[in-house]
Amino acid sequence: MKVSLPILILFIYSLISCSWETEYKSAAKRSLQQDTDIVLVPYPFNIFDKESRDAITLSHYSQEEIKNILKEHDLSWDELKQSWNWKEDEKSFQKEVNYTSHYTQYSYDTSIPIWLIGNKWFRNGIYPDRIHQQHIPSLLARILDFSFANQIDIRKFDKIFRTTEEKPKLIVTIVIDQGGLQLYNAHPQSFPFLKSLKEKSAYFKNAKVGHLEAHTAVGHAAIGTGAYPAETHAFSNEIYTWKEGKLISRPIYQGEGQTLALEELNRMSLADDWDLFHNNEPVIISQCYAARASIGMAGHGKALPKEFSKGKEPDSDFVYWENGKSLKWDTYSAAYSVPDSVKQYDLYNFYLANKATAGAEFQVRDRLDLQAKLHHFQASEYQVLLDGESIRKAIESEILSKNKHLDEKTDMVYVTLKATDAVGHLFGWESEEARNILKKTDEEVEKIYGFLEKNFGEDFILVITADHGAAPMPEISLSSFLGHETFFQELGTLLPEEKRKNQSVVKWITHSQLSLNRDVMKENGISEEQVIEKIKRLTVNDKPFFRKVWTRKEVTD
């Protein structure tokens, strides 16, 4: 029987469509909260976020790299060239850009690398297996011969392990924030050291973010706990609500006043579990300029809930982040502490000390100017240097100087090199600015690796991965931006005008998950179908914004 070409094309398209939907729904199912009613799926490249930035950034681009990026993501060079008025003979170009984000299950947000380095424990090779961040703690627990609370099935990875009963003195996990494959593919000559490690590690080339949302807090909680958001309850960087006609944003782990709600992390981390098992003898260090990352990797420290501690007394681990007011490393003393050797670092003094040698274009006049431009500092070479120097100093003072590496209790260190994320948001991961930060990050990873080799020989494991990727800048993909405030306002039109300021049919929303306010809907005679239809009809620049709007039942069936 002959099959016509149009029918064959339609059949192939339907298979592709089913494939992306199946994968998207699987990630959503692993991430649903108890009161999630709706899952939102934007069209590819569209950005659904709190708001675009007030200020724009002047970014610089190479024509050759931009053409390669556009080709990889099936975007048009001719359209971009016309939109930007980019002349063919201009090899470089500058463009004012605003903001990009990451939260979807599309490949630009979810395709990440994983390196597992440790010749005594891993068989080197490039592995094609699909692997999630959640597998990492279970892989490490196997090496430690430890019955981990959140252990998942890793039998398909048996082939990567060597047979040995020896335990590493130290396990270091480096997260290169926003370091998805999209960043490396955009700048293939900018990470020679990381590229060389592919041959010296168990390298997973098809690793993937297996949850919604592809956000910093969620990815770091995955790497730390080995559990999915449906279990950890760490499912977004922030949660949005509507109150008195205003959008309210609550960051994850934010408690009342100056407190942190660490109980929101509803699973033990590997570090929590390992530390408690050994009566707090292992050293646990977790460092990132953003608290949501440091916390997700290390866990609860001294604030470990009693349901997990089971009568044992947890201790205060070294978990810290940057304070934008004091310009120092800071922490939450009810649960954590900062190494004395790291307390000395002051961001402004560090900037002054390295100003003569750093090649960064970032400049400030004084401390107040740095406070105002903190995010630009975090997107600069200074942040890369500070991250690397601080974590080496912490390892030296808290492990090596105290001979903790000789006590046969494996220590755990987590560090996020986050300048790649800041520069990606500000300038776009496609930019020359991002290329430079990737190069500096690669050099800093090499310094950390050399430091570990010098002090631990072959008795350490190094894990390198990412928490997520990111979408291309909307100015490059020519895609749409929808703010949460606009979203609430549009759905507010389902209500009588006099009620729109103080009521909403939405109880809470993130970037992918939405909980309905059933009481408000009942009071005003609004059905779930009406809400869904309203969302489906939302447009930006006369184009529909959401590709799919799934009910909970559609995700779980």
Q: Each residue of 300-322: pLDDT tens digit?
A: 999 999 999 988 999 999 999 99
Q: Considering the domain boundaries, does residue 538 fall inside one?
A: yes
- pLDDT above 70: residue 489: yes
Q: pLDDT category, 52, cuts 50, 70, 90?
A: low
- 535 and 414 in one domain? no
Q: pLDDT category, 132, cuts 50, 70, 90?
A: very high
Average pLDDT over residues 431-439: 97
Contact 397, 338 (CB under 8 A): no
Which residues have CB under 8 Å from 153's CB, separation 6+? Answer: none
Task: State the average pLDDT for the chain.
Answer: 94
Domain count, the chain: 3
- pLDDT above 80: residue 7: no
Q: Considering the domain boundaries, does residue 215 fall inside one?
A: yes
Of 407, 437, 466, which closes a domain?
466
Q: Considering the domain boundaries, does residue 12 fall inside one?
A: no
Q: Considering the domain boundaries, does residue 381 fall inside one?
A: yes
- 393 and 493 in one domain? no
Give 24: exposed, middle or buried? Use CB within 10 Å, 0-12, 13-18, 19+: buried
Structural domain harbouring 370: 107-241+249-466
Separation of alpha carbons 67 and 80, rounded Å: 10
Contact 284, 271 (CB under 8 A): yes
Q: 76 is written with which tokens?
A: 């048009």
Separation of alpha carbons 153 and 482, rounded Å: 39
- 195 and 309 in one domain? yes
Which residues have CB under 8 Å from 179's CB, separation 6+? Answer: 112, 113, 417, 420, 438, 441, 465, 466, 469
Return the H-helix or E-strand segment holding 139.
Answer: helix 135-143
Residue with tokens 């934007």: 42
Q: pLDDT category, 87, cuts 50, 70, 90?
A: confident
Contact 202, 461 (CB under 8 A): no
- What is the phi/psi pair of residue 154, to 5°? -125, 20
User: What's the angle, vertex CA 323, arms to CA 321 and CA 326, rounded to 5?
Assistant: 140
- 82 and 37 in one domain? no
- 188 and 90 in one domain? no
Express each pLDDT in 186-206 by its tens digit.
999 999 999 999 999 999 999
Q: Considering the domain boundaries, does residue 314 fall inside one?
A: yes
- 200 and 237 in one domain? yes
- 85 and 232 in one domain? no
Q: 495 is written with which tokens?
A: 């209500």
Express each pLDDT in 169-179 by its tens digit.
999 999 999 99
Q: Considering the domain boundaries, does residue 7 fall inside one?
A: no
Q: Which of 333, 266, 342, 255 is nearest to 304 (CA)?
A: 266
Average pLDDT over residues 321-344: 98
- 539 and 455 in one domain? no
Q: Considering the domain boundaries, does residue 24 fall inside one?
A: no
Express each pLDDT in 139-173 by its tens digit.
999 999 999 999 999 999 999 999 999 999 999 99
Amino acid residing at 396: E
Q: Considering the domain boundaries, does residue 28 fall inside one?
A: no
- 205 and 276 in one domain? yes
- 168 and 111 in one domain? yes
Query: What pLDDT score was predicted for residue 400?
Result: 98
Percent of the chain having pLDDT more than 70? 96
Q: Which of 225, 211, 298, 292 is nearest to 253 (CA)?
A: 292
- 70 and 115 in one domain? no
Query: What pLDDT score was predicted for residue 54?
Result: 56
Average pLDDT over residues 344-359: 94
- 416 and 335 in one domain? yes
User: For 23, what's the count of Cα atoms within 13 Å in the CB-facing half-sphere?
Assistant: 16
Express each pLDDT in 358-373 by its tens digit.
877 899 999 999 999 9
- pLDDT above 60: residue 270: yes
Helix (H, G, I), strand (E, B) or coil at 554: helix
Question: Lowest-pLDDT range, 45-54, 84-93, 268-277, 280-289?
Answer: 45-54
Q: Which of 217, 199, 23 is nearest to 107 (CA)?
A: 23
Dihedral sign from CA coordinates of 534, 538, 542, 548: negative
Express each pLDDT in 510-539 by its tens digit.
999 999 999 999 999 999 999 999 999 999
